[in-house]
Amino acid sequence: MATTDFCMPVLGADMERGIVAQWRVGPGDEVHRGDVIAVIETEKSDLDVEVFQDGWIDRLLVPEGEEVAVGAPLARIRVLDAGADPSSTPPLDQHPEPGAVPTPPGAAAATPAVHSPLLRRLAERSGVDLAHVTGTGPAGSITRADVERAASRPGTGTAARTLASPYARRLAADRSLALAGITGTGANGAIVAADVLRAIEEAGPSSGRDAGPSRPQPRRDAADRARSLRRALGDLMSRSKREIPHYYASTVVDLAAATAWLQDVNAARTVQNRMVPAALLLHAAVAGAMEQATMNGHWMDGSFRPAEGVQLGVAVSLREGGLVAPVIRDAHLLDRDQLMLALRDLVTRARRGSIRASEMVDPTITVTNLGDLGVDAIFGVIYPPQVAIVGFGSITEQPRAVEGMLAVHPTVTVTVSADHRVSDGRDAARFLSVVARTLQNPEQP
């Protein structure tokens, strides 16, 4: 048994301090990697913060409402040593002296038990956790008979370990859904993605995500918060304009093909599954970022570091004022439908204030879309350390010259503000041409 400190995380490139707005756990609570254990208030927003170890909360070191510097210890967590027997956890001392954490007898001396594959297979098949089986073989080793005996005893199933696929775990974690309550239908009873999706559906909309124990939140009043948010954003944007030599480019893209394609696709869909134009716009921005590397990455320590994939920041305006730009992770791996779902989910949660800290990892390029507010074109200010921001205006019908004739087509103005330290007008032109080409060839996946 060892202890580790859970420290104030860095939740943004320029974060220096944070406030513990709320503890979701208390001393003695068991925690698992990925559990949200606290809500941290930064100048920009409130973020759910996850723990990275399995263990037990030993004590909380910072009371709710207190502001501390990044890196300051917030809580002490007892973690299991590798190989220690989880069943030998001692009853928790609720008031341990700092630095005097009791060591369970035997835990330090315990060596990882070695079982034959046959035995492990048998245990897995019959749903027995070997850690809980008493061995009767030579030197206390577990025999086949021991496993069979354990399997026949009620209540000794795999309660200690839930089998779930990585994808299922990710889906559940994204929605703060506990795996324990889900029935698995995969091999060996493992929980697979279909099981999680079923559980989400059964739980109904909006439940699940807020599954954590809710406690009254000490919050600063809304006006105060809005002021602080506005100030933080102002600082960031001032820095951007001070340090980044912005240049701008724009193009008007004919959306006749895209609109026709959308109508075709949507004709076969139910209302709630219909694809929205925003999905096409995001998809095109991702395609541009993938093809034009100088628009996608970070300016760090005086040089440009291109990113391999696209972590797509999406500017979302908050009802109380202010702006956050949560990220759609690995957007380059998503198709238009997946992008749309990700966008919908992100906007809902950003406005509700339940953005997870892991979603605030630095985006590699940001998109701002003011189309629904009737703006023709928007030239954004780059979020440092990114090097470009893409703007989409509203989709409007405009007269266009098409093959010598006048026609009325839906169009959108696409802009890019880019960092002249990293790229030149030619790069922006190439980026915009990829965006335009992608939008004009919607039948290509």
Partner 1 sequence: MAVTTYRDAMREALREALHRDERVFLMGEDVGRYGGCYAVSKGLLAEFGEERIRDTPLSESAFVGAGIGAALGGLRPIVEIMTVNFSLLALDQLLNNAATLLHMSGGQFNVPLVVRMTTGAGRQLAAQHSHSLEGWYAHIPGLRLLAPATIEDARGMLWPALLDPDPVLIFEHNALYNVRGELADDAGAVDITRARLRRPGSDVALITYGGSLPKAIAAAERLASEGIDAAVVDLRSLRPLDDETILTAVAATHRAVVIDEGWRSGGLSAEIAARISELAFWELDAPVRRVCSAEVPVPYARHLEEAALPQTDEIVAVARELVHGHD
Q: Give the interface with partner 1 as residue ranges (CB under 8 A).
A: 165-170, 185-187, 190, 192-194, 330, 332-335, 445
Q: Which is nearer to partner 1, 152 or 188 (CB)?
A: 188
* Rounded Cα distance, 409 and 399, in Å: 6
E strand residue ranges, 256-330: 297-300, 303-306, 312-314, 316-317, 323-324, 327-328
* Rounded Cα distance, 195 and 229, in Å: 39
Q: Which is nearer to partner 1, 220 or 332 (CB)?
A: 332
Give the number of residues written for the chain.
Answer: 445
Contacts 24+ apart (CB under 8 A), 405-412: 409/254, 409/255, 409/256, 410/254, 410/255, 410/256, 410/258, 410/259, 411/252, 411/253, 411/254, 411/255, 412/252, 412/253, 412/255, 412/281, 412/371, 412/439
Exposed (0-12), middle (13-18) or buried (19+): which is 297, by Cβ within 10 Å?
A: buried
Nearest to 11 by CA among 23, 19, 2, 3: 19
338 within 8 A of 376, measured Cβ to Cβ = no
The least distance separating partner 1 from the CB of residue 8, rounded to whole angstroms, comes to: 26
The least distance separating partner 1 from the CB of residue 100, rounded to whole angstroms, comes to: 39
The least distance separating partner 1 from the CB of residue 444, rounded to whole angstroms, comes to: 12
The least distance separating partner 1 from the CB of residue 268, rounded to whole angstroms, comes to: 16
DSSP letter for each residue of 189-213: G-B-HHHHHHHHHHH-TTTTTT-SP
Q: Which is nearer to partner 1, 70 or 193 (CB)?
A: 193
The least distance separating partner 1 from the CB of residue 386, rounded to whole angstroms, comes to: 22
Please count the other Cβ atoms lying within 10 Å of the Cβ belonging to residue 220.
14
The least distance separating partner 1 from the CB of residue 338, rounded to whole angstroms, comes to: 8
Q: Which is nearer to partner 1, 236 or 334 (CB)?
A: 334
Q: Which is nearer to partner 1, 28 or 189 (CB)?
A: 189
The least distance separating partner 1 from the CB of residue 77, rounded to whole angstroms, comes to: 24
Q: Which is nearer to partner 1, 94 or 185 (CB)?
A: 185
Nearest to 362 by CA among 8, 9, 11, 43: 11
Question: Amino acid letter at 116?
Answer: S
Q: Which is nearer to partner 1, 171 or 435 (CB)?
A: 171
The least distance separating partner 1 from the CB of residue 170, rounded to whole angstroms, comes to: 4
Q: Which is nearer to partner 1, 101 or 194 (CB)?
A: 194
